[in-house]
C-alpha cells in the first residue's frame, strides 16, 4: 500500500512540474528585478484550465502525502 502512495506522489510531482513550466511563459528574467509587472492579465481558455489543474494537482499531492504518513 505504501508503494502505491509513493508512485502517486512521483506521478503528481511530475504533473505539477509540467503544469508550472507551462504557466511560466511570461515571467522572464527581466521581471525578477522589478520590470514587466505593468499590465494586468486575466487567465482565459487553456491557460485558466492549466492554472486550475495545477491547483487540483497540488491539493491531491498534499492529500496523498498526508495519507501516506498514516
How far, in Å, are 22, 34, 40 from residue 29 at the CA level? 16, 10, 18
Give the model's pLDDT for residue 24: 66
Q: pLDDT tens digits for 11-57? A: 999 999 999 988 865 555 555 555 555 566 677 788 888 889 999 99
Q: Provide DSSP, 36-47.
A: S-SS-----THH
| pLDDT value at residue 61 | 94
Amino acid at each position: 500500500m505504501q508503494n502505491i502512495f509513493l508512485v502517486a506522489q512521483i506521478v503528481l510531482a511530475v504533473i505539477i512540474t509540467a503544469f508550472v513550466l507551462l504557466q511560466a511563459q511570461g515571467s522572464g528574467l527581466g521581471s525578477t528585478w522589478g520590470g514587466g509587472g505593468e499590465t494586468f492579465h486575466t487567465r482565459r481558455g487553456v491557460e485558466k484550465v492549466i492554472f486550475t489543474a495545477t491547483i487540483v494537482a497540488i491539493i491531491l499531492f498534499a492529500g496523498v502525502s498526508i495519507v501516506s504518513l498514516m
